Structure 1
C-alpha cells in the first residue's frame, strides 16, 4: 500500500499487497466482514518482520475530588477516612486527590522500547476496559503523520466515530493511506464475494467463484441497492443453504419468500417445524444468523432462546399452532439437546444447519422413536435434574420437563421402552386400558 492511498479491504487482503508499519482501517457500522482478516494480516506481517504485539500503555494520574457547595447541591459529598477508620466529611471547598488509571495511545507509540519494536492493535468499535480519550488518539495520529512514532499502530475505526471528523485523522490518512470497507456495488461485488468464499461461515466455498448462475444471483441482489459486505455474505449463505446441494443448484423453481419484516424466534421456529420447506428453513437460518452477527448474541444466549422457544412449542402455548399430537416437536427437542456442545463450542450457524438437516431426515422416518438414534437422544432425559445456576440451565431444564411430559402422554408402541424406564409398574396397565397403536408421523 503506497502513501496517501485509499484502498478497499478486499484489495488489501491480496497476497501481493505491500504493507506499511502503520495501518488505518475504516469499517462500517454493523458490518466489518473482513475486520478479523485485516487484523490477522497485520499481525502476521509484524511477526514476520521481528515485531512483537504490544498492549496500550496505561498510567496513573491524580484527580481532585472537590467538595464545594455546588457538588453537595447535586447530592454528592466526598467522605474522608480518618486514621481511626471513622468516616467524616471534608469541609466545604476542600478537595481530596485520588489515583485514576488512564490509557494512552500516544505514549504507546511515542516511547522507545528496550527490546524489539512492537505493534499495537486498537479497535475503537469494541468496548475497552480503559477507554482511550479522543484527544490522546489525535496526538498519536499527528505523531504518525510526522513519521515520529517509535512503535507501530494498527487502528480500526467505525465509520461513524468522532475521530474521522478530526484534522489528525485527515493528516494521518494523507501520510500513510487508508484501508476502508466499501459498499458492495455492481462494479465490485465479484471481488468482495471471491474474498469471502474462502472464509465463509459454511466452510471454504471457493468453487462458487466460477459458478455463473450463482454469481448472476448475487449481481441481481446488488443491482437493487448497494449493500454492506456483511449483507452480501448473508445472502451468499442463504442461497447455499436453501437452494444448493453439493455445490450445485437443485432443479426446482426459485421460490420467492414473502414474510413480515419483524419475526420473533418462537414464531419462526414453529413455522419451520410445521412446514419444513425451503422458505421456512431460510427464514429460520436467517434469524439465527441475525441473532449472532446483527444483535451480537453469544452462542449461550442463542441456545437459551432456542430452548425456551422449543418449550413453548411443546406446551402448545400459541393456539395458532395447536398440534399437540405432532410428534416431530419431540424429535426436534431431543436432537436440539444433543447438539448443545456443537452450538456452544463451534459455529452456531453451521451447527444449526446440521441440526435442521438431521431433523428433516428424522421427521421423515416413521419408526424413528424405536431407532438407536432415539435411544441415544431420549435416555439422558431420565437423569435430568433441576440445576438452575444459569439462564441456560433454567431453559434447558424447562424444555427437558416439557419434552418428558409430552413423551409420557404419547401412547404408542415405539415409546413403550421409554415409559417402562420411567415407571415400570404403569406401562402394561396403561397399554391394556387404552390400547396401543403404531406411531404415524406427518409428512
Structure 2
C-alpha cells in the first residue's frame, strides 16, 4: 500500500492496525486507483469492506467514504496520465447485489437544488466534487464568503462535506444550524460530545455523521485557537482574575484537546504537585541541611537500616506536607463555612458538653488557678474531643500546630466576611457555656 492510499485511509479515521489487516487480506490493493476501480457502487464497496475484515458499521462507512474519495481523485488522475493497476479480484458474494447503473446526485443550479440523473460512470466522473465547485460570493459571514443566499458560508459547507457529511445532511443542517460560519461553529460547542449533541439537534441521526460533524467542529475550534493564540492567553488570565472557572475549564479543554473536564486532572495534579514541592523545598531548606548532618551519625550508630527507615519516614512526612498544602490551597470562605459547621456540631454534642462540665468541676477545689492555664486546658479538650478528627480533612495537622494554623485562617477570613465572625462567636459560646472562669 503506497503512501497516498495509506494517507487517504488514515484521513478517514482508520488506524494503523486496520490498515495492516486490509493489506493482509488484499495484497493487490496498493494504489488509490486500485481502490477506485475495485467497486462499482457503495453497496459493492461495503461488501468489499466486509471481505477485508472490516466488520463494524463505522469501519465499513469509513471504507465507503474512502472509496468515494478515491473515485473523485481517480477522475483527476486520469487527466494526469495515471493508469491504475489491475483491480483486486474478489470472490463474488452470494448476497452481492448487481452493480448500480445509475445514481442520483445533488447539484446546485442557480438558487434551487435539483435532482440530476447520471446514467453512466463517465458522467459520474465528470460531476464536480465539493472541492472542485467554484462559486461567486454574494455576501460574507464572519469574513467567510457565502455564495448561496441565506445559506451557510462556503468554508463551512466545504468543511462539512470534506469531513464526510452528505450533501443532503449539509442541506438539512443549513436549515437548522444556528452557526453559519466556521468561526461561529468553533464556539457553538465546547466538547466533542456537545458537538455530537448539536448534530443530533439539527436532525442528524447517523452516529457516524454526528462524529464527522464533531470532527469538523474540532478543526474549526483548533483553527480559531491557532489564529488567535495570543488573545486566548490573555483571556485566560482575565478569566482567572474574574473567577470564571467554567470558562477557564472550557478554554483549557480546547487547548489540551480533550473532550471531558476530568481529563484535565492529570495536568492539574502535576501542576499542584510541582508548586507544592517548590514550596516545601523553600520552607524546609534549613531542616534539610540539619538532616544531612544527622543521617551519617545515625548510620554510624545504628546501621544502614536505621538510615533507610529515617529516609522513608522523611519521604512520608514530605508527602503529607504536600497533601496538606494542596488542600489548604483550595481553602476558601465556603470551605471555612463547612469547617465551622462541623466544629459547631461537634461542640454542641452531648459528649463534648459532658467533657466540658467534667473539666470545669476539676477546678472547683483549686484556688487561684491562672486563667491562661485554664484556657490551655480548654484548648487541649477541644483538640482531643473534636478537632483531632476534623482538622486533617481540611489540610491541617491534628495537633496544636494545626489548631494554631486553623485559628490564623479564621482570623484572616473574619476580616473579610462578617458571616465567618458570626459563626466563630457561636463556636466560642458553645465551648464556654459550661465553664466558670
Q: What is the TM-score of this pair, normalised by structure 1?
A: 0.28
More helix by share: 2
Radius of gyration: which is bigger? 2
Structure possessing the higher relative contact order (Cα contacts under 8 Å, 6 or more residues apart): 1
Q: What is the TM-score of this pair, normalised by structure 2?
A: 0.29
